[in-house]
Amino acid sequence: MTTTLVVLDTTERLRRGDRELLVLARSLGEAHAALPAAPGDGLLDELAGHGVAAVHVPAAGPGDRLTTPAVALAAAAARAGGARTVLLPNTPEAKDVAARLGVRLEAGVITDAVGLDTDLVATKSVLAGGWTTRCRATSPVLVATVRPNSVELPAELPTELPAGADRPAVHVHEVEDTVPAARVVGRTELPASGRPALGEARVVVAGGRGTGGDFGPLEELADVLGGAIGASRAAVDAGWIGPEAQVGQTGRTVSPQLYVSCGISGAVQQRAGMQTARVIVAVNKDEQAPVLEIADLGIVGDLKKVLPQAVEHLRSLRG
């Protein structure tokens, strides 16, 4: 039975993407989890519900060092647990960890995986979503970062300790993390939107220069659909919305069930972040806009009229 280590950066709740990694790890054999600090009982129960056999935590908290504590812990946990595969989220933060972990474990690293079979062959999206490759590591250990919305979750998500099950064993590691590192000297929390996280949302409503800076109609639609708000770089550069909302080559890559593109022309760098969405709907007042070439439904019109009407109609259908 092979062991897969899942490197998470939570100590409180599992997010959707975390659960996908755990389900994937279990499909390969035994699952272990590495966490940045000792978890609460609630999280341990959730991990038990996902069939996690062992949890690895550092003896000392991560402190203010960037990236390297997670690398050191993951390396220690992978070695101690005999992991054949190490899975991480596909976020920029986790990619930095995966990169350095690859060097420490002399392991091939595959990013942007959208699947991993039992022979450890990964399916990966490349060239801005234009191609799909199958690839594998030639090293004894594989490190992979997996895109959210790649793994089916069970209808019933485990939230508590399954009857008769034990909480996973918690292994505390004295990790040595003495390499030079950047340190975090200030943190500003971004205001919480109450909407799902952009990267893992099932629905994304995204706005561009064509919003003229008013995201109100998009927010209303996102709320009716339970979606997240995204943006083009033009909207971010204009200062209308924070960079964390940017979708595209230099923003987030999203693969939602539904992407609603509003007032976005559909440049290649924007498409890089959204063209693997299952369904794309575009609202654009220019019938020549490139985004209409990839949209399952294109509405040529003014988003300020189309979106509120759509919201009103959806609400009326709901009664």
Ligand X SMILES: Cc1cc2nc3c(=O)[nH]c(=O)nc-3n(C[C@H](O)[C@H](O)[C@H](O)COP(=O)(O)OP(=O)(O)OC[C@H]3O[C@@H](n4cnc5c(N)ncnc54)[C@H](O)[C@@H]3O)c2cc1C
* 238 interacts with another protein by CB under 8 A: no
Q: Which does 39 bind (CB under 5 to 8 A by kind): ligand X, another protein, none?
A: none
Q: What is the DSSP letter of 65?
A: B
Q: Which of 137, 280, 284, 298 binds ligand X (CB under 6 A)?
A: 284
* 287 interacts with another protein by CB under 8 A: yes
Q: Which of 229, 234, 254, 260 binds ligand X (CB under 6 A)?
A: 234
- The site map against ligand X for 243-272 (x = CB under 6 A) is ---xxxxxx-----------xxx-x-xx--
DSSP secondary structure string for all residues of 262-305: ES----HHHHTTTTT-SEEEEEES-TT-GGGGT-SEEEES-HHH
End-to-end CA distance of the chain: 52
Q: Which of 190, 194, 239, 319 binds another protein (CB under 8 A)?
A: 190
* 100 interacts with another protein by CB under 8 A: yes
Q: Which of 65, 136, 171, 209 binds ligand X (CB under 6 A)?
A: 209
Between the alpha carbon of residue 203 and those of residues 125, 167, 277, 293, the distances in Å are 20, 34, 9, 20
* 128 interacts with ligand X by CB under 6 A: no
* 300 interacts with ligand X by CB under 6 A: no
Task: Give the nearest distance from C-beta 20 to another protein in angstroms.
Answer: 16
Q: Classify each residue of 100-126 as buried b or exposed e, where b means 16 or more C-beta atoms within 10 Å of its C-beta.
A: bbbeebebbbbbbbbbbeeebebbbbe
108-116 vs 122-126, strand pairing mode? antiparallel
Cα(100)–Cα(78) distance, integer angstroms: 14
Task: Give the nearest distance from C-beta 300 to ligand X in angstroms.
Answer: 9
Q: Which of 37, 59, 103, 165 binds another protein (CB under 8 A)?
A: 103
* 198 interacts with another protein by CB under 8 A: yes
- The site map against another protein for 145-184 (x = CB under 8 A) is ----------------------------------xxxxxx
Angle at 107 between CA 150 and CA 144, to 5 degrees: 10
Q: Which of 210, 252, 263, 264 binds another protein (CB under 8 A)?
A: 252
Q: What are phi and psi of 282, to 5 degrees?
A: -125, 135
- The site map against another protein for 256-275 (x = CB under 8 A) is -xx---------xx--x--x
Angle at 266 between CA 255 and CA 205, to 5 degrees: 50
Cα(184)–Cα(73) distance, integer angstroms: 18
135: nearest Cα among 125, 148, 122: 122
**CB neighbours of residue 164 within 10 Å:** 5
Of the pair 59, 297, the CB lying nearest ligand X is at 297
**CB neighbours of residue 313 within 10 Å:** 11
Residue 209 annotated as lining a ligand binding site: yes
Annotated binding site: 209, 232-233, 246-250, 284
**Which residues are near ligand X by CB under 6 A?**
208-210, 232-235, 246-251, 263-265, 267, 269-270, 273, 283-286, 289, 302-304
Annotated binding site for FAD: 209, 232-233, 246-250, 284
